[in-house]
Each structure stands twice: as structure tokens, then as C-alpha cells.
Structure 1
Amino acid sequence: MSSLTRADAERRAQIIDVTAYQVELDLSRGDLPDHTTFESRSTITFTATAGASTFLDVKATEVRSIELNGTLLDLASVADGRVTLPDLAADNAVVVEATMGYSNDGQGLHRAVDPADSQAYVYGHLFLDAAPKVFACFDQPDLKAPYTIVVTAPEHWIVLGNGAATQAIPGRWELATTQPLATYFVTICAGPYASVTDEHDGIPLGIHARASLAQELSDQAPGMLRVTKDAFDHYHQLFDIRYPFGSYHQVFVPEFNAGAMENPGCVTFRDTYLFRGAATQDEILTRATTITHEMAHMWFGDLVTMDWWDDLWLNESFAEYMAHRTLTAITDSDDAWVDSTMARKAWGYAAERAPSTHPVAGSPAPDADSALQNFDGISYAKGAAVLGQLVAHLGDEAFVTGVTAYLKEHAYGNAALADFLGAMETASGRDLSSWAQAWLTTAGVDTIGAHQMGDGVRITRTRSEQAPADRPHAVDVAGWTDGEQVLHVRASLDTDEVTVPVSAGGRAALLLPNASDLTWARSALSQDSLAVLPTQLGQVGEPQHRAVVWVALTDALALAEVDPRLVVETFAQAWPVEDNPSILSRAGLLLTSRVLGEYLPDADVPAAAETSAAAARARLDSAEPGSSQALTAARVLAAATPDADLLGRWAGGTDLPEGLLGDRDFRWLVLRALAVAGAVSADELEAAAAQDSSLQGKLSALAARAALPTEADKEWAWDQLVGDHDRSNYERNALATGFWAGRHTDLVRPYVVAFHRDIPALEGRVGQDALARVASLAYPRTVVEEATAAATREALASGDLSPAVRRALVDQQSVLREVLASRAAFGG
């Protein structure tokens, strides 16, 4: 089906203004086995230029009737997801009755059956352009309108949505009329959900999950509600605007494509955020950050919505920045900013290195499909960092004043970049045109370096070669020697070089540019600093400084500036004494997934795995039993160790670290490691799956089975991934994740050709959002050969790729080329 173009959206917005939606959904058979459709009736009132015509969006299994102003339209006019509405009056009403299809790819109205109890659940994920799969509508972000929704469902189900839901009679739920919403914010969640309810400051609160997760929900809801309540208090105080959407539900739904979605009044989250077993502090922090991120969207995105997708940053950059700022304020801890550095900025810098990099704001989005490709580390992490620079540039008081004015002026409507900059200029009295050009509308990342010389520190700015811009940076430099911070200077870097005097305090062994991660820039460590990194990093007393070093190493590794063996050596000495949860987790993932998985040549992997496992064992032995640090160390040890005997004992429940007995997710991690090593059979994995009948158990079993290193198992896994087996989005992702695991190049090399043939062919069977994920996960990156890159180049040259697949291939080929360059530079 055609993707909505910006030109078509602008023309339609000039003709019509939507005044209200009334939507009736009949999900009454949704609990029946293998039920695939539901009934939808939409009544839309709108004003229009008299005599004009426009189009309505509807992507139905069957359209039964379309009535415009009392006249039935010819159903033959429905084509390619659109129907023409001719000869409009000044005031209009269109009624569409249709049969819609449930999805299994996470878009539209997704239906999933929980294998733990065979109960069915549905949820609406209408982002980015999936609303017409649920109800007929004018599907673009600037045609906001209030919604009144009625849902018929099985009597044992509950129904949740954007408006407060009331069960009028058994099985019939009426939702309160909403404030004006964009179509992509509308949701319905229905099923036998378990619930925990509360109230805060006059706001009804609810947290919901599948019935099979009722105990986990009960145990973890108090912590999530505490974050929710504290965040509401902080946002109310900061913005001076109360939460505008009535009740506030947070629903943990199965097989969700994203981390969460900011539907007003009914936020949906992936239900893996409800932890089945032991959880690290890093994981709990990530969940809290997601909660505060989605709540920030109630103001940035929901109350004020972008005109079009090229101003996506007005949603995501703000929510990203506000989430970390808010969590820091309500916890009185900097852990959120450390986590931002390790998890989010590393993601953003990777996006900046990719050929698909783009400006924070104003990135071309000629249609909805192309806009989807810009939901990446630039729009989230870089945009948040840029807002931090704006605060430094204007001062916090002017920033908050400008934000509040912007939100109040455009409440319940739409806005664009110019509107935001205008509010900021009024609040600060400063012209922001050059600042915006440098930071918002020009792509690229600068590099910050530092050199100690005499009584000063010379700080340098090297501009991006691809997109040079004169970006001012609020930046700092720290110096450490044997655990003592011997210098710390701050500077406003608005030229390519500045020297900052320092008091006498000795020469720093380890000099860290942008040590406090104040700006968006690569931190270039000098050769002298790199040489002492293994011995010095573990002695650095500031977690934020250590996080910056790890991200700098990640960047330098990708740019073939650092030998991956140095990363292993640094990990071996610094990781066993690390205590920050985010650094432990993310550095461990870097080592096990990227360095051992891709960067090191095959000959170096066994020794590096032994070294890494020894570091993980040392951290496990030094950690308090059952602690977050111990759990992270056990996970890294399971992923790194070549000791199949140890893994076998753990899989059987013997000699497990404290707190992990009966932890099903940890057992699957161990079983997958055994599968990669060929030390477990398909029958043994099937037996393990029978012991864990949960949705997560089913997915873990698929990933482990796909990792088995035999021709028969690879053939089975590939057929399940790309064949017509009605696999869900999560099942495809699990299969793709396991398929390429391990160093089995000769075995999987034939599937390089299969990938470039079969994955693009999924278009039409899988939505663009889900297709982008499976194409990225299924890319043959572990076949580190020029032939892999050449196959991708040939596929890209064909021109016959969807935007989702094209973006995935461009970015994954770029990562593959980074690994190839590293091996060429450092052997292998």
C-alpha cells in the first residue's frame, strides 16, 4: 500500500479539519482460537472546503459500506488503502463499516496468545501509519481530533484505552471522550489483563500485564508506581502544566516492537520490562527511564504534536532529555546520566557513523515510510545531548521558561521547529539561527581532544569532515593518575582550539576530554592515555568519567583506531573492580557481543574468551552474593566462558550463583551458549521448552535452536524465519538473533545469498516497523568477508528494496565494514 506523502498530507490539511471520531470495535470473538479478524465502525465528522474532494485512509480485510453525508459510496472506489470522498459539503460525516485483520507483527491491532495459559490479548500500536488497519481515518499527525470509542469484548476481558473505560454491560466498554489526539496515539488494550491500581494527585493510575505475569506485576508495581508518582510531581512543577489526559494506565503487552509507546492515558510497554527472574540495577534503571520518558511525551508529542515527521525530534529528543533529567532529580543520583552515556550515547554515535546519519531536525521525510527510518540514535540520543547544550547556551531558567511558553501556546495542537525556536528566543532574548544551523539542521559529530602542556590543557575541536559546522561546546577535561584526580577544567569551546590554565598538581597519566559527557562529541584519547588505560581505568573514581572512556573505546574500535586486543586487556583489569551497574552491563555486552563475536580474528578468540571469563569470574567472586553486580558477572561469564562443563552444570541447576536457582531466563542464556558451542541437542532444547511454557520460554527456545551449529538446524531455522509459518514479529527476531551466533562461518556462509534474497521478500507479509528489526537482526554480520559487503552492495544497487530493508542494509553493511577495517588494521 502507498505511504502517505507530505505533499498529500499538506493538501488534505488545507481542505479539511476533523472535528470528532466515534469508533466502535467488536472484539467479541477475540478469545477464540486462531481468530483473525474484528469488526470496525468509524463515524468521522469534519469540515471542508465546499465542493472539494479528498481521501480517507482504510486498510481493511473487507470494507462493507462507506456512507458520506447520507449517500453510500461505490466500494470499488477503495484502492490501495484509500477511498476518495467527492463533492464535500462545509460540514461532513463519513461512516465506514469494515472487517479488519488482527496483526502478528506488532502493528495495528496486534493479537497474541500466551502459551502459558492459552489466553489471548490484543493491543493497538497505531504508530506510525497503522491506524487505518484498525479504523477508517485521516491518518496524519496534524489532523488531531477527540475520540469516543466503544469496544465489545469477551465478558472476562478488561478494556483499556486513551479515555477512562467503563463497562456499561458485561462485554461492552465505553471509553470517555479524549482530548484532541493524532491518529497514531490511539490505542485499545483488551484481554484478561491482571491489574494494580492506585491514585496520585487526583490522577487514577493503573499498571497491567498478562495474567501469567500477575505475580511479577504485584511484586514490581510498587516500585514503578513510585517512579510514576514522583515523575508526575516533577513534571507538574517544571512545566507549570498539569497532566491533561485524565487517567494514566501503563500496560505491559506481549510482542511489542518498541520499548514503549506514549499513547495518551494508556502507555504501552514491552512486557519483558516485567522481570521473570533476577534483575540488575541497570535493568531496573532502564525501566524507570522508560517510564519517565513516556510520561514526558504527555507534554512533548501528545499535548503538542509535530506538524509532520521531519520534526520528530520535538517528540523524542525532549522525552529523552527530560527522562534523564527527571530521574536524576527524583532519585538524587547521577546514575541516569551514566546510563545515558553507556546505553544511549553509544547508540547515537553509532548512528552518526552510519551512512544514513541525518540532522537532528528537519531531516527530509517525503513520506511516512521514509520518516520511520529516522527513529534512531540521532533523534533520541543526539537530540537530547543537543538540548543539554542549549541549556548551557541559554541558561536553565530561560530554557524552562521557553519550554513552558511553547507548550502553553500550542496545547492540543501542532507545532514545528520554528515555533520552538521562537519560544526560546523570546525567553532568552537571543537569536538562535546560527546555533540551530550548527546543532539542529547539520549532521555530523565533532571530535574533542586534550593535551596537557606546561601549566595548561589544550582542548581541540576537530569538525566533522562530512558535514563541517561551527558548533560551540560546553566541555570539560579531567586528568587521573593512580586513582587521584589531578586536574579538572571546564571551557566554552567555540573555536577549534583553546588552552585552559591549570594549577600545579602533577601530570595526568590518563587525560579525558569531555569527561563529564557534557556535549555531543567523540572523545579522542591520546596514545599516551590509551597505553595506560588497562592499569589506570579501574582506579578512576568518577563513574561518569569511566563511562566516557568506555564509549570512547567503542568509537575508536569502530573506527579502527584501537586494537580490539586492547579492549580485552582493559576489560580484564578494569571490569573486575567496576561497581556501576550500567558500566558493568554495557561494557560486558561490548566485550562478549562485539569484540569476541566480531572484531577479533578467529585465532585470537579462544585466549580472549578465557581472559574475559576470568575477569567475569573475578567480579562474580568479589560481588555480594545475589547482588546486581553478581548477576551481571554471572551473565557475562555464561556468555564468555568456553567451559562447557560449567555451563552444563548451571543448565542442570548445579553450582549456580546465589539467587539464580530457578531463574528461567538465566537458564536460557546458558542453554543458548551451549547451543552455540554445539554442546546441547535440539531434543534437549525441546525438553527445556516443555518445562518453560511461557512466551519468553518459547522465544528463548527458538533463539537457542537457531544457534545450533548443524546444517539441518540452520536449514530448519532459516525456513522458520522466512517461510510461510505465520511467525510473529518476536518469533522472527528470536530466530534471527540465534542464527548467526558463534564463529561458524563455513556453515552459515551460504545464507549470505539467502538473506539478500529472502528478507526483502518479507515485505507485504511483515509491516515496515517489524521488517526493519528483522532485517537488522538477520543481517550476516558475523560472516566477516568482503563478499558479504559485496552482496549487500549488489542488493542496494538493484533499487528494489523497501525503505525499511534499505536502511537496515545500509547501516549493517556499514558496521560490517568497520569490522573489516579493524581486522585489516590489526590482523585477522
Structure 2
Amino acid sequence: MSLTLDEARARTAMLSEVSYDLLLDVTSPDAFRSRVAVRFRTKGGDTFIELHRAESVEVTLDGATVVPAYDGCRIPLDGLTPGVHEVVVDARLRYVTDGEGLHTFTDPVDGERYVGGYLGLDITQRLFACFDQLDLKGPITLNVIADPTWTVLSNGLSTVADGGRFGFATTRPIACDLFAVVAGPYHSVRWEHQGLSMGWHARRSLAAELERDAAELRRVTEVCFDHYAKTFSEPFPFDSYDQVFVPELNWGAMECPGCVTFNESLLPRERVTDDDRRRRAMVIAHEMSHMWFGDLVSPVWWEDAWLNESFADYMGFEVAETVAGYAGTRVSFEAAYKPGAFLADRRRSTHPVAPAAEDVPDVDTGTTIFDAISYGKGNAVVRQLVTWLGAADFLAGVNTHLTRHRFANATLEDLLSALDAVSPRDVRGWAEVWLRQSGHDTIRVSRSDDVPVLTRDGVRPHRFTVAAYSPSLEPVGSRLVDLADEPLELPEWAGLVVVPNAHGETFARIELDPFSYDSVARSLADLPDPLVRAVLWAMVLDQVPPAAHLDLLARQLPRESSPTLVTAALDRSLNNLVRRVLPPADVPAALEVVAAACVLDGEANEQRAVALARGLARSTSDTALLRRWLDADATDQGLALDPELRWAAVHRLAELGGVEAPEIEAERLRDGTAAGDLGAVTALAARPTVEAKSAAWAAMTEDPDVSVRRFRALAAGLWSLSQREIVAPYVAAYVAVAPSLARRGSAFAAEVGRAFPALPLTDEELELVRDALRGDVPAVLRRYWEDELDDRTARAVSF
């Protein structure tokens, strides 16, 4: 039962001074005890408190036992008199394996058990009874009963750890969706910085990886902390700062105050590439900025989720690049993140970066706007705002906003008021066209005689770098320009190649004139600046028809020196072009073009070799090559196979019929980790036999307790670009069963949506999806399906 905007507003008008005193007992492996005393002031009347699917519930109100009409979602609190009340809810709940509640995980390496509450929209109520909305913030006091040998972490500073009882200092007022609890035999690296207790933590079986990266993780944490301490006028708002790599997190990370949780993919096994380090530094900076923007000051309702995510995403990339020392972080944004934002902005599901509250009528709808608009486009729009407004005025307004609304809630209008007060520019006019309207402008290059002319199709003012090059793409010059209604002539660059938005400061589609485009298509890999190459790779791959896309890849990828850009170009080609756009008959030839572009001969740059090898492992049809790799545990050129690369080779070999179940089991045992278990699940499902597909499908759909990760791994093996005929019967089966599977919860619904058949579909198969969408499809799944339909038809129509 999704909370509606009207219900949230009514409850906010009625309640205040909310606080929670929570006890969790996680000693049983089957279920846990959740006892919470919720104190609040009310104006009187009827309300409710949420608690999702408790097995047993005992409730007292102001000390008297009551028997409420609990419906599995809400506990009514009727007839309240004005004043302060306390409701105590003592419940027993089941652990979950989908991350939406108190998640349980057993490590196959050593058999150790871990539990954790990694929350978010509509999830806190699956852990304890609460008023589950953003603008009823309150302090939380936590006590946990657990194995006395465990580490237990939460938002507050640890105050008691004695004989299996763990206590924590009462938090400052926080939104209850930001609560976190982490428990298990964690390996920890602890220290103090600027008088604050800090720590990094990981599963005991990942101790070696944590120790390997500990110095870097500490350095990045301290550098980001010191930067934010100087940037924001408000001091760090909480009493400790732990960062935890937790098993099976549904997101990249979660910004819980004082206890940030990270996906374990950010702690790679064996090989750690520069791209891995950049991404991790960006996420660390992103989540830490949330301590101020999102945690200290929170939105009132979910339409302003972008205020959290767009700001943090901008800060994450900016601080990682310019403060933490990870050059190339902006390159990764332009190449790997921003293209997805443009794609999202062309779908029917696009929405303003800052929608109206009424456009998010319930929390289910709020779940669907944590997307590439709120992150990728929002990041780019904030960067344009900083470029247009100036960094000094931007930060002055942000600091006013943070101080004015500290430990409270605020809206876009509140932020605009703060920015407007410190800037002479028309901030509200800017916000109206950039934040309140969906879509994006197009910046075009044309020629007047031989003089480049920039024009804008659209309504937004733009400030960006324009760069000029010789026909062979040697740099000539660059400058920052403003572009609005009037064309901008560049006579000093007559006869030269011109690239607008060369450094990615704005969010707009770029269309080059034929002279500039031809030079870029001929010599893209020769451009010296990887940031400009990132902008142009993204532009070209977005605009050319399939044959030209594959031709560009074949000519330019073998000469592209940046591993980041190699990976991004391969992902765009395999995930978008081959999977969504090409007719089924064209797929084999396209895979051969991709494989041929992943040239490994004589590659001196190890990280570029890794990127190319991963692309080759996904696309080659040469079973002998893959077999040689596995036998040698290295590529033919001697590049060692890290676990990710080895499992990619096993997966592809299984798809091609080159490996059977006993050898896959031997690979699983050789690996011995949870990631290895999932790699084996994918490889078994990838085998080109009727029996393998039937077993995978049954495991996905008939097991009511299949975990999110296992479901994902099965789907990755089931759908194979090389097995069109054998998997075709499962397309209709997927469309038929997906809506019922998606009702398990939003996280599982998202995974069901991501499990959309990962191969080109016929018009008849796409029509099955359209027919299903005319019926009752859960909101999260509906969004994924509509996006898939739009992505598969938009480019095909445009060409």
C-alpha cells in the first residue's frame, strides 16, 4: 500500500516531535524481533503507522494494550487526543533476500552470516513500525541484540558493545528512510580524523581486499571530508562516519547519516583498474556530500529527490576529479553516464529534473524517478548552473540554504530563494526552463561562407566551451561562450573544425556541420584531449545509423587510447545497438565486427588490454580462443584473467556450447565466492540447450524465495544474442509472468524489468508487451517496459 502525497500531507499537518527508541534482536537465523517505542505530538484525530508483513504484532498505546485492525501494512491509530502519545509496537518479521527489509546473507567462503537494513523508499516499515515519510524527521535511538563476536554499526556513535548487546547514541533528527543497521563478523579499519571516529568495513572474507585498498580509501575519505568542511559553512552534522561494503546492496551506495553502505563491486577482487578507482572515489565523494545535501536538509516529498541526487552526483564527479586527484572522472561521466541521460530524456517516461509534487502522487511513482534524469541529466544541469551562475554565488546560496533548513526539510523554492538572494542573475527564470521543463536543446554548427556559426534550437541559455581544430584535428584554440536566441558567429575560426560544448559544461544535443563531422569521423581517435573525445564518441554513436556505427567502431576503437572510452564504446555498441536496434539476422555479423575491433596484439597498456579483452570475451565466436584463455588463465598475449574476465570467458564459452555443467561446477569451486556462485548460475543458464533454458526459467519463476542477485544471474544467462531460436519461446512467457513476479516489492520489480529479453525482438513480440501494458502492470515494471519499447523503436524509426 503505497503512501500517497495527500496522506503524507495530512499526517504532517497532524504530527510533530516524532522520535524512535528501537530494539532489534537478530540472534535467530529465521526471523528477528523489532520493538519500537514511537513518541509524537498530535493535534488529535485519526492516523496510522506503517509496518509491513509482520508475522506477529503486539501494540500498546500510552501504556495500554490495544488490538488494532492490522492489515499487514498499516496499524491504525484512531481517536488520538491532542498532545504527546507513545505507541509501542513489538513485532516479529522475516529476513529478506531482496534488500528490502532486514537482509540476510551467508558467505559461501566461510559460512559466516551477515544481516543489514539498507533502506530507502517504503522500506523502513519492513524493519520497524514508523511514520514512513521524509518530512516527519526524528531522532532514533537503537539497541541491537546480536552475536557478541559481531561488529554492529548504525547511524549513531557506538556507546555499548557488551555481551551481545550493542547500543548507539541517539541520532540528530533524520528521515527514517536514512536509518541503517549493519551486523556481522566484519573486518574493520578504524581511525580518527578531525576528532571524528571513522572506519571502513568489509566482510571477513574480503579482509585482504580491504587491507589492500585501505590507505587509498582513507586518503579519499579524508580529502573529501576536508574539502566539504571548507566548502560548507555548516559543520559535519553527525557524530561518526563509518563506510561499509555490504553484501547484495541494491544500489551503488546509500547515504545513511554516519553509516554509508557501499556495493561490494566497489571493492574489486584481484585487479583494480583506474576506472574502478575513479568510480569508487566519485561514489565516496557523492555519498559524503549527502551528509549535508539530503541528510542535514532533506526534501519534503519525493518530487525533490533530484535535490539530493543531482547535487550529490555533480559533487561526486567534480570532487573526485578536482580535489581527490582522479583525473579522467569527467571523461567517464561524458562517455558512460551522460549518454543514458539523453536517451532517458527522449522516452515517454521523461520528466522535468524538478517535477511538481502532484506529478508524484505516491511513493511507488517516486521510486520511478530515481533515474537517469535525476542523476545524469540532473548532474549536467547542476554543472551548467554552476558554470552560468559562477561557483562563488552557487556555493553562497547553497550554504544559506543549508543553514536555514538544518535538520529539517526544504523544497526547490527554498533553494531558489537562497540562490536568488546572492546572485544578480534571474535564477527563477533559469530554473523554469532548465528544471521545470523536460527535454533538451540542440546546439548546431553551420557555416556562413566558411565562418562557423552556432545556433540553438530550444529555450535554454547555455554557457560552454567551444573548441577549434585543424582538419586533421590538431588543437587551435578554445573559449567559453554564451548561446541563447541569437546565432553566434566565430569568424576567427573560419575554415576550421568546431566542436561546441567540448568540455561538457551543458546538457544539449550537438550537431556538427558536414565539414566538422567528416573530420571527426575520420580522425576521432587522434584528438589529444580525452574529454573532447568522450563528448564526440557519445555524439557520434548517438546519431549515426547502425552501419556507420559499426564502421566507426571498427576504424576508431583499435586506435582509441583511453580504456574508459574503449569500455564505454563497447557497452554502447553491445547493450544498445546490437541488443535493441539491429534486426535478429544482423546480430551475428555485428558481433564479429565488435570482436574484430577488440584487437589485443602487442597491447602495451594493461588497462586498455583489460577493456578490450572484456569486449572480446562478450562478442567472439572463437571457442578455441576462449578455451586457450581458460587453460592458461591468461589471454594469448599473457594478460592474467581476473575473476570478472574469467567468468566473462566462461559465460561466452557456455553460450557457444563449448563448456558443460561439470566444468562450470569446477569453475565455481575454483572461485569459491558468492560472485563465483552467481557466475556459475549465469554460465549454466547460458548453455544452448532446451534443458538449460528450461531449468533457468523454472529457477527464475517457480522459487518464491529466489534472491534478487540469483534472479539477475539467471536472466543474464537465459537471454543470449547468439541463441535467438532457442530462447524465443520464453519471450511470451516472460511477458505473461512478469507482472505477478514484480509484486514482490520494488527492488524485485526493478530486477524483473531489467530481465526484459536482452536480444532483438520481432514486431510481434514487442506487441505482446504493448498488449500487457494495457492491463494491470506494477508501476516500477511498467516504467522499465515502456522504456524498453521506446529505446527499441526510437533509433530504428530515426534511421
2:785 is matched with which residue?
Answer: 809
Residue pair 1:20, 1:44 contacting (<8 A) in 2 also: yes
Aligned counterparts, 1:740-759, within 5 A: 740-759=719-738
Residue pair 1:145, 1:182 contacting (<8 A) in 2 also: yes
- Which of 76-85 and 750-759 deviates more? 76-85
1:405 aligns with 2:400: yes
Unaligned runs of at least 5 residues, structure 2: none
SS in 2 for 1:240: coil
- Which of 77-86 and 214-223 deviates more? 77-86
Instruction: Choose the corresponding residue for 2:603, options 598, 619, 622.
Output: 622
Match for 1:563: what amino acid? P
Report deviation, 1:499.
Answer: 2.5
Aligned counterparts, 1:347-426, within 5 A: 347-363=340-356, 364-426=359-421
SS in 2 for 1:617: coil
In structure 2, C-alpha distance between the alignment counterparts of 1:144 and 1:360, rounded to whole Å: 25
Residue pair 1:388, 1:519 contacting (<8 A) in 2 also: yes
Residue pair 1:484, 1:540 contacting (<8 A) in 2 also: yes
Residue pair 2:525, 2:557 contacting (<8 A) in 1 also: yes
Change in 2 beyond 3 A, CA 1:131/1:677: same
Residue pair 2:588, 2:722 contacting (<8 A) in 1 also: no
SS in 2 for 1:198: strand
Aligned counterparts, 1:185-204, within 5 A: 185-204=178-197
In structure 1, C-alpha distance between the alignment counterparts of 2:660 and 2:499, rounded to whole Å: 48
Aligned counterparts, 1:716-795, within 5 A: 716-764=695-743, 766-776=744-754, 778-795=755-772
Match for 1:815: what amino acid? D
In structure 1, C-alpha distance between the alignment counterparts of 2:476 and 2:550, rounded to whole Å: 27
SS in 2 for 1:763: helix
Unaligned runs of at least 5 residues, structure 1: 464-469, 557-561
* Structure 1 length-normalised TM: 0.93
Change in 2 beyond 3 A, CA 1:166/1:317: same
1:460 is matched with which residue?
Answer: 455
Match for 1:726: what amino acid? D
- Which of 526-535 and 689-698 deviates more? 526-535
1:475 is matched with which residue?
Answer: 464
Report deviation, 1:504.
Answer: 5.2
Report deviation, 1:248.
Answer: 0.7
SS in 2 for 1:683: helix
Report deviation, 1:158.
Answer: 1.1
1:101 aligns with 2:127: no
Report deviation, 1:65.
Answer: 1.3
Match for 2:11: what amino acid? R
Report deviation, 1:812.
Answer: 1.1
Report deviation, 1:530.
Answer: 4.2
1:488 is matched with which residue?
Answer: 478
SS in 1 for 2:142: strand
Instruction: Choose the corresponding residue for 1:683, options 658, 662, 677.
Output: 662
1:19 aligns with 2:18: yes
In structure 1, C-alpha distance between the alignment counterparts of 2:677 and 2:125, rounded to whole Å: 31
Report deviation, 1:456.
Answer: 3.1
2:442 is matched with which residue?
Answer: 447
1:559 is matched with which residue?
Answer: none
Change in 2 beyond 3 A, CA 1:92/1:252: same
1:612 aligns with 2:594: yes
Residue pair 1:525, 1:552 contacting (<8 A) in 2 also: no
In structure 1, C-alpha distance between the alignment counterparts of 2:639 and 2:280, rounded to whole Å: 21
Change in 2 beyond 3 A, CA 1:594/1:76: closer
SS in 1 for 2:487: strand
1:46 is matched with which residue?
Answer: 40
Instruction: Choose the corresponding residue for 2:533, options 527, 534, 546.
Output: 546
Report deviation, 1:300.
Answer: 0.7
Aligned counterparts, 1:528-543, within 5 A: 528-543=515-530
Match for 2:602: what amino acid? D
Kindly provide the CA deviation profile for residues 548-592 of structure 1, in whole angstroms up to 9, marking residues without a partner as x. Answer: 112113322xxxxx2222222222232223233321221122233
Change in 2 beyond 3 A, CA 1:526/1:786: farther
Change in 2 beyond 3 A, CA 1:708/1:238: same
Residue pair 1:489, 1:502 contacting (<8 A) in 2 also: no
1:674 aligns with 2:674: no
Kindly provide the CA deviation profile for residues 122-160 of structure 1, in whole angstroms up to 9, marking residues without a partner as x. Answer: 111220111111111111000011111000001221100
Kindly provide the CA deviation profile for residues 209-263 of structure 1, in whole angstroms up to 9, marking residues without a partner as x. Answer: 1111111111012111111110001111111222111111111111111100000
Change in 2 beyond 3 A, CA 1:25/1:48: same
TM-align CA RMSD = 2.0
Report deviation, 1:602.
Answer: 4.9
In structure 2, C-alpha distance between the alignment counterparts of 1:531 and 1:787, rounded to whole Å: 38
Report deviation, 1:633.
Answer: 1.9
Match for 1:775: what amino acid? G
1:296 is matched with which residue?
Answer: 289
Residue pair 2:587, 2:721 contacting (<8 A) in 1 also: no
Residue pair 2:451, 2:495 contacting (<8 A) in 1 also: no
Report deviation, 1:91.
Answer: 1.0
Change in 2 beyond 3 A, CA 1:602/1:77: closer
* Structure 2 length-normalised TM: 0.96
Residue pair 2:614, 2:645 contacting (<8 A) in 1 also: yes
Instruction: Choose the corresponding residue for 2:213, options 203, 215, 220.
Output: 220
Instruction: Choose the corresponding residue for 1:702, options 681, 690, 712.
Output: 681
1:635 is matched with which residue?
Answer: 614
Match for 2:34: what amino acid? S
Report deviation, 1:773.
Answer: 2.7
Report deviation, 1:280.
Answer: 2.0
1:83 is matched with which residue?
Answer: 76
SS in 2 for 1:503: helix
Aligned-residue sequence identity (percent) comes to 38
In structure 2, C-alpha distance between the alignment counterparts of 1:574 and 1:475, rounded to whole Å: 26
